[in-house]
Structure formats: structure tokens, C-alpha cells
């Protein structure tokens, strides 16, 4: 795959975890660095994709809701300048009357030709996770990440 004379490289990583009742809705969400990617040389990110979806496909037995936000960023904390992308997945369910609502989200961006995000050698890109689960049931989420880059600084 070529673009503007440079070979486009794709970095893919997937993260998955099931959460139990760890954070009641009233106390806020837990945040963690789920994955860190360190550039082995100077690169320019020309695009990325971030997908968050619920892991299980069967209804949950307890009433409640859960959500998971994922951010692709060179930072170690959420909502800082320089973040590349944020996506969220959520689910709400009720046993009586029985109902479920699952929202998965995929976001993608490709920068225009000649533009991108520079990452110096040994620079990092983090996948940050914040989650919330107000039910006694375990709820699992999967995050798929694709980063498209060219070697060198553009």
C-alpha cells in the first residue's frame, strides 16, 4: 500500500475485559492505561480507527447499565490536548419488563495528504480506558484499534 511515495504501515491492537460491579454510578468511572505502544522510530500517523463494543451477546440477568470509553492519546490521562480519538460503548438493560439497549461505536479519521500527527522515536501512544458498571452482573467490552502511519517525519 503506497501513499505519496511512502509505505503505509498499520499497527493493530485489541483489548478486552469483563467488569463486575466495581464503580457505582454515583462515584464516577475508573480510568486506566490499557495498552501502550512505543514508536521504534520517527513516524507520522496519517489515520486511525477506534471501535468499542460489548463482548457478550446474551442479555444480562440483573438490572443496570455499563459503559466504557476509550481514548487514543499520547497522554496518560483523559481529555488532554493532543488526544487523537475517543469512542464509547454502552449498554442498559432491565429484567421486568425485559429490555436491552446496546450501543457500539466506531470512529475513524484519515488526515488529508501532507498532514498527520508526528510521533518521535520512543514516543508513546496510549489506549486509555474509563469504565462504569452499576449492576452486579459482569459486563465485557472489546476495543479494537488501528493506527495507520508512515515512517519518518512529514
- Give the residue extent of every domain in the chain: 2-151
Answer yes or no: are the C-beta atoms of 60 and 139 closer than 8 Å.
yes
What pLDDT score does 4 carry? 52
Give the pLDDT score at 58.
Answer: 55
d(CA 99, CA 93): 6
SS3 27: helix
Closest listed residue to residue 76, CA positions, set 13, 32, 42: 32
44-78 residue pLDDT tens: 999 999 999 888 655 566 778 888 899 999 998 88
Q: In this structure, what DSSP letter does residue 96 have?
A: T
Q: Quick one: which of 153, 65, 146, 93 has its CA closest to 117?
A: 153
- Residue 77 CA: distances (Å) to CA of 27, 94, 146: 18, 33, 20
Q: What is the pLDDT of residues 101-120, one digit of tens each?
A: 778 889 999 999 989 999 99
Highest mean pLDDT among 32-36, 44-48, 97-101 belongs to 44-48
Q: Contact 66/131 with Cβ under 8 angstroms?
A: yes
High-pLDDT (> 70) share of the chain, %: 84
Q: What is the pLDDT of residue 79?
A: 83
What is the third-level CATH fold of 2-151? Jelly Rolls (2.60.120)
Residue 91: pLDDT above 60? yes
Amino acid at each position: 500500500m503506497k501513499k505519496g511515495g511512502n509505505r503505509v504501515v498499520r499497527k493493530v491492537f485489541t483489548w478486552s475485559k469483563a467488569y463486575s460491579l466495581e464503580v457505582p454510578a454515583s462515584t464516577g468511572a475508573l480510568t486506566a492505561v490499557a495498552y501502550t505502544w512505543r514508536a521504534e522510530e520517527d513516524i507520522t500517523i496519517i489515520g486511525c480507527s477506534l471501535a468499542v463494543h460489548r463482548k457478550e451477546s446474551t442479555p444480562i440477568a440483573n438490572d443496570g447499565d455499563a459503559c466504557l470509553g476509550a481514548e487514543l492519546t499520547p497522554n496518560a490521562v483523559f481529555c488532554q490536548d493532543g488526544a487523537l480519538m475517543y469512542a464509547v460503548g454502552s449498554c442498559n438493560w432491565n429484567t421486568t419488563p425485559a429490555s436491552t439497549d446496546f450501543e457500539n461505536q466506531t470512529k475513524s479519521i484519515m488526515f488529508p495528504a501532507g498532514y498527520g500527527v508526528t510521533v518521535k522515536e520512543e514516543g508513546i501512544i496510549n489506549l486509555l480506558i474509563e469504565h462504569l458498571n452499576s449492576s452486579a452482573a459482569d459486563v465485557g467490552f472489546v476495543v479494537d484499534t488501528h493506527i495507520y502511519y508512515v515512517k519518518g517525519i512529514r
